[in-house]
């Protein structure tokens, strides 16, 4: 991916920012990725180059979003916890096209804005586990399923390992990060609870299987640290 001419130039962005500002943020993400990690991405060819795409990603580190923001070949707006949207960090996140989402209360505005972006042919990223943890996708919240049912977007699962440094693992310089991108899929459209629940469960199962496959691959290759 060229640092000067980024792909995804036809992707729409949130109304509060501009494509130029979003691409500046993507370049910051590229630098963060290069400085912090040795990243190995498998399956990038599976990402649709155009059209609505919902990226669903497991979550184990605060750097998951910034690194993927610079690594993916689309202008992706991630749904980020609203607590981050304060002060200078909040200003930066808004200007690079991210959405703040309150996880513990009904918060439809960012979901509706993300839905509009998908319906316009854009790309949205979401961490359906809702918060950082082990990243094993044991449970997910229904925001991803709701967006998938309402938008008809292709869903691209992404498993990511290596950004989280477990206790006792040391501070290895530029540790290996592995990203495995799965096959796109869609879910039946719907607006009711049954459709959203089914879509959410499909996302959970598919993403969990992908994370397990990546974990197995890393164990075989000895790249756990």
Q: What is the tally of structural domains in the chain?
A: 1
CATH number, position 24: 3.40.1130.10
Closest CA to 185 of 53, 44, 42, 43: 53
In the predicted structure, residue 63 carries a pLDDT above the cut 90: no
Task: Determine contact, residues 132/84, Cβ cutoff 8 Å.
Answer: no
Is 69 inside any structural domain? yes
Q: What is the pLDDT of residue 18?
A: 96
Q: What is the pLDDT of residue 172?
A: 64
Residue with tokens 């059209």: 51
Name the region of 97 (left: φ>0; alpha: ψ -120 to 50; beta: rest).
left
**Which pLDDT band, with edges at 50, 70 and 90, does 165 fall under?**
low
17-54, pLDDT tens digit by residue? 999 999 999 999 999 888 888 889 999 999 999 999 99
Is 119 inside any structural domain? yes
Is 1 inside any structural domain? no
Strand partners, 176: 38
Print the domain residue range for 144: 19-163+174-219
- Across 55-73, average pLDDT: 87
Q: Residues of the chain with pLDDT > 90: what percent? A: 61
181-193, pLDDT tens digit by residue? 999 999 999 888 9
Is 184 inside any structural domain? yes
Instruction: Phi first, then psi: give them for residue 154, nearest 5 degrees.
Output: -70, 135
Is 153 inside any structural domain? yes
Is 12 inside any structural domain? no
In the predicted structure, residue 127 carries a pLDDT above the cut 60: yes
Is 14 inside any structural domain? no
Is 202 inside any structural domain? yes
Q: Over the range 117-141, which residues count as b (16 or more CB within 10 Å of their CB) and which as e?
A: bbeeebbbbbbbbbebeebebeebb
Q: What is the pLDDT of residue 106?
A: 65
Q: What is the pLDDT of residue 206?
A: 96
């Amino acid at each position: 991916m060229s640092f000067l001419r980024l792909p995804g130039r036809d992707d729409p962005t949130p109304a509060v920012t501009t494509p130029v500002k979003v691409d500046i943020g993507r370049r910051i993400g590229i630098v963060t990725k290069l400085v912090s990690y040795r990243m190995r991405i498998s399956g990038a060819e599976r990402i649709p180059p155009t059209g609505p795409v919902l990226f669903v990603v497991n979550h184990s580190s605060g750097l998951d979003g910034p690194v993927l923001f610079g690594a993916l070949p689309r202008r992706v707006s991630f749904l980020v916890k609203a607590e981050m949207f304060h002060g200078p960090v909040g200003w930066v996140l808004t200007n690079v096209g991210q959405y703040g989402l309150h996880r513990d209360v009904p918060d439809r505005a960012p979901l509706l804005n993300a839905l509009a972006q998908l319906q316009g042919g854009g790309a949205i990223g979401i961490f359906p586990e809702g918060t950082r943890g082990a990243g094993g996708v044991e449970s997910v919240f229904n925001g991803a399923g709701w967006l998938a049912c309402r938008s008809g977007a292709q869903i691209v699962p992404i498993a990511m390992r290596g950004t989280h440094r477990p206790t006792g693992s040391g501070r290895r310089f530029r540790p290996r990060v592995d990203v495995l991108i799965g096959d796109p899929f869609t879910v039946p459209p719907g607006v009711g609870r049954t459709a959203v629940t089914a879509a959410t469960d499909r996302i959970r199962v598919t993403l969990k299987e992908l994370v397990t496959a990546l974990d197995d691959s890393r164990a075989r290759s000895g790249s756990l640290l």
